[in-house]
């Protein structure tokens, strides 16, 4: 069954690292409630949720997707592109060790899980401000012997690859083409986000349901037109910390 690791919101979230957004006041209590609703939405979609405790002194630790990459055979602990976030990795490595062998990427590699989009045996990796060529090379060395095809994708204008595109399943990718080089995705069918919702590409599909932020109604219509159910939640306070739907969970299959 699909299983998700999540982590409680740190009360120091207001000190989060920001790259593309101006800092705004975050209502921590509301952010905590929104994260609780996120976990409930995952459970509604049939996901077993394993919540991890708050890391009080690590403002970005709720965004568990970035310090961990999980495929069917192994878990990869990357060396994160944000130096101040690297301390988040150890507790996640301990949590995933129950389910997968753990391997690590080393200096000079930098890589964050938000830059990794897996579709079957294809693993697309964003070359972004957080992930470098050495990170892609080391991930390739880990995954290609397991039968994965690792393909770098240039990212521009956003934080991570999955800010710019996410799999919709069935050979489809929801994308903001302005934020990435689409050439490596040529074997897939790209659907554009609504023109007035450039940040709407980050979605999470489980079975026939797609989880999306409530703030992108026009892109929701695009997804529904593809025959998928859409479940929406409000993550407005978390989005002030450059959050998206996928970044607050690490989802993998278990028996």
Residue 21 and residue 221: Cα distance in Å, rounded? 26
What letter does residue 19 receive in the DSSP assignment? S
Find out whether 110 and 131 touch, Cβ atoms under 8 Å: yes
Tokens 């989005």: give the residue: 239
Closest by Cα among 113, 111, 6 to 55: 6
**Catalytic pick from 16, 158, 165, 247?**
247
Find out whether 204 and 166 touch, Cβ atoms under 8 Å: yes
- Active site includes 160? yes
Q: How far apart are the first and last CA of the chain?
A: 6
- Active site includes 247? yes
Those residues with Cβ within 8 angstroms of residue 147's Cβ, 6 or more apart along the chain or in another chain: 121
**Catalytic pick from 35, 158, 160, 166?**
160
Residue 130 and residue 122: Cα distance in Å, rounded? 21
**Catalytic residue list:** 160, 247
């Amino acid at each position: 069954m699909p299983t998700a690791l999540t982590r409680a919101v740190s009360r120091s979230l207001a000190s989060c690292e920001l790259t593309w957004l101006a800092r705004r006041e975050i209502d921590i209590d509301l952010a905590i409630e929104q994260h609780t609703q996120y976990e409930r939405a995952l459970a509604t979609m049939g996901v077993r949720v394993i919540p991890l405790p708050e890391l009080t002194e690590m403002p970005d630790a709720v965004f568990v997707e970035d310090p961990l990459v999980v495929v069917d055979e192994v878990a990869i602990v990357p060396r994160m592109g944000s130096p101040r976030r690297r301390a988040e990795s150890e507790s996640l490595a301990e949590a995933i060790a129950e389910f997968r062998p753990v391997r690590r990427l080393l200096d000079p590699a930098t890589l964050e899980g938000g830059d990794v989009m897996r579709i079957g045996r294809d693993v697309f990796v964003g070359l972004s401000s957080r992930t470098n060529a050495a990170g892609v090379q080391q991930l390739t060395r880990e995954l290609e012997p397991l039968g994965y095809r690792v393909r770098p994708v240039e990212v521009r204008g956003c934080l991570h690859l999955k800010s710019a595109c996410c799999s919709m399943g069935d050979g489809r990718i929801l994308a903001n083409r302005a934020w990435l080089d689409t050439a490596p995705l040529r074997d897939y069918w790209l659907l554009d986000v609504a023109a007035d919702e450039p940040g709407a590409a980050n979605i999470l599909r489980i079975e026939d349901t797609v989880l999306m932020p409530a703030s992108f109604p026009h892109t929701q219509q695009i997804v529904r037109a593809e025959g998928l159910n859409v479940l929406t939640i409000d993550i407005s306070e978390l989005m002030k910390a450059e959050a998206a739907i996928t970044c607050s969970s690490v989802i993998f299959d278990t028996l």
